[in-house]
Chains A and B, each alone.
Chain A
Amino acid sequence: MTGTQMINIGVLEVQGAFLEHKISLVRAARELNDVIVNVTEIRNPSHITDDLHGIIIPGGESTAISLFLKRNEMEEPLRSWVKGNGHVTWGTCAGMILLAKETEHQKNGGQVSLMCMDTIVSRNYFGRQINSFEADLTITDSDLISKPGCISDLFHGVFIRAPAILKTTSDDVKVLATLQRGDNSTVIVAAKQGNQLCTSFHPELTEDTRWHRYFIQMVLKSSNSINI
């Protein structure tokens, strides 16, 4: 028994649903009940420190976020943080695009990527806003569905001009959730590789905190959280 642990999570507050992520993190921590989560903002390079145990890269527009990272010299510090030992990162939507090694449908002239996950991601895979949707997803990792209080092995996903993973290019990438398409094909909408997690949907827009708990548990497992 380790007692209560304290972890520091940084949320990249450049653009997008960062406030929603902070609220979900706090709620998830309360539900887990033996962990204290300090949530801090990341708006400039000095906010990316080794004191952080986890970083969330929220959704928003991947072009706007990547341009901001480049112009504020945050790209390299963030990339080396993500690759650092024991550091856990989660990208939602635009965050999934930023973490991917390859992206299709980028803006003209390309955009910054952190080049971390062995995935090929298609930007706006499902189309424009008119095609944005909600759907129940099949979750394929038992860790996500075996938690107490879990009533379903489905997760209600909210997809806003969302990307999807077309292909994984390494066996290290573990698929966590898929979506079945009308033509009977299946696309990957959540995956994990080592300490990196990505979802193309937005758990922070729902009441369901399973993904945030999952992320916190990834942090607890891999990092040197502080025992108090």
Chain B
Amino acid sequence: MSQTVNGSTENGINVTNLVTSPETVVKTGTFKVKAGLAQMAKGGIIMDVTTPEEAVIAEEAGACAVMALERVPADIRRDGGVARMTDPKKIRGIIKAVTIPVMAKSRIGHFAEAQILESLGVDMIDESEVLTPADEVNHIDKHPFKVPFVCGARDLGEALRRIAEGAAMIRTKGEAGTGDVSEAVKHARTINKQIQIAKSLDAIEIYNYAKELRVPVDLLKKTAELGRLPVVNFAAGGLATPADVSLLMQLGVDGVFVGSGIFKSSNPPKRARAMAQAVTHYKEPAILADLSEDLGDAMFGVPVKKQGAVPSGAPDQQKIWNATLGDPSQWVKNNA
């Protein structure tokens, strides 16, 4: 049973009558295969889960993958401390519980955690800013891994640098664990805008823009030519409702991650199901209205603008009054 192979097309040579052994030559871990998993996730929703039970709820809701975590970002945010890779036992349990792809997070730059996650058989690794970075300067060199990586980005420069390092998928960073979608929107819009700029530049200008963004010029040229990122791009960070999903999908992302938004809400199975459907029905406000009905409380959330501010709301209120009507007490007095 000999057969012919279409040899090394990479070199532009098509050798059509090489005889090989009966076994087909199989190449694993190629970039095509790694990016392919991300392509299969398009139009889908990836949910953060912390137990096998939650993973089953996510699968049953229609998630196209789950992210196995020790704690959801909202809890990481609340607890503080150093956030690390999830306990392998927990990841194994989640892998066992569901048939959909299972992803897990490693710290930025922590290639040893990534190696461990790869050995566990996770389907994708998220080199994530949600965990405490392990390397202030370098990200993981993602090329040698057989498992694909997804990385966060706030702008086109970050996105293309991560792709140059071997990321097979990009997601907006957003502001995980807040329930506030504004940062994810900002990042998605920034990337869109910068791609529009790149598209409008001539051959010389694009060299300068690549320098400004600190990215390889070839990758920037490819992006301008495609009019989009050269890998799958998801939204993440702060999505909590079907409407949030629709908003980001209409801004042009390929799919969404939902972290704390589901399991920090009052009715996770129902919300998970509604948000999963919203990814496909994102263009249909009437269907989204039905999906958004009676979901219970969304996660409480912390508006990004309020973070780090004085706990009391007073100073902020003061600012708003000053900007519009002057000092509120003054205003009250004058009308008395």
Contacts and interface: CB of A to CB of B under 8 A. Distances in A.
Nearest to A129: B123
A158 interface: yes
B42 A16 contact: yes
B98 interface: yes
A158 B59 contact: no
Given A123-B99, A133-B33, A153-B4, A63 B123 contact: no
A132 B28 contact: yes
Contacts of B60: 67, 109
A72 B40 contact: no
A137 interface: yes
B44 interface: yes
A60 B16 contact: no
B226 to A, nearest CB: 12
Contacts of B147: 129-130
A160 B36 contact: yes
Contacts of B14: 151-152
B204 interface: no
Contacts, number: 159
B262 interface: no
B82 interface: no
B37 A180 contact: no
A161 B101 contact: yes
B62 A68 contact: yes
Contact of B280 (A15, A123, A131, A133): A15
Interface residues of B, number: 53
A92 to B, nearest CB: 10
A71 B275 CA distance: 13
B4 A135 contact: no
A180 B147 CA distance: 24
Contacts of A68: 62, 276-277, 280
A184 B22 contact: yes
Interface in B20-51: 22-30, 32-33, 36-37, 39-44
Contact of A72 (B22, B26, B277): B277
Contacts of B16: 151-152
A135 B24 contact: yes
B100 A130 contact: no
Interface stretch (A17-25, A27-35, A48-56): A17-25
A105 to B, nearest CB: 7
A190 interface: no
Contacts of B5: 136, 154
A136 B6 contact: yes
A148 to B, nearest CB: 16
Contact of A64 (B23, B276, B281): B276
A153 B26 CA distance: 17
B146 interface: yes
A128 B123 contact: yes
Contacts of B123: 128-130, 161
B23 A152 contact: no
Interface in B51-94: 56, 59-65
Nearest to A138: B3
Contact of B43 (A13, A71, A106, A132): A13
A71 B25 CA distance: 41
Contact of B148 (A105, A123, A129, A136): A129
B253 interface: no
Contacts of A89: none
Given A13-B280, A129-B37, A132-B37, A151 B100 contact: no
B121 interface: yes
A112 B237 CA distance: 32
A182 B40 contact: no
A134 B6 CA distance: 13
Contacts of A137: 24
B1 interface: yes
Contacts of B118: 130
Given A64-B276, A68-B277, A132-B33, A20 B39 contact: yes
Q: Across chains A and B, which 9 residue pairs bring their CB atoms closest together, nearest first?
A: A129-B123, A67-B62, A160-B36, A61-B64, A152-B6, A15-B43, A107-B99, A64-B64, A132-B33
21 contacts: A14-B43, A15-B43, A17-B42, A18-B42, A43-B280, A44-B287, A60-B44, A61-B64, A61-B101, A64-B64, A105-B99, A109-B60, A129-B101, A133-B26, A152-B16, A158-B33, A158-B36, A161-B101, A182-B23, A184-B22, A184-B23
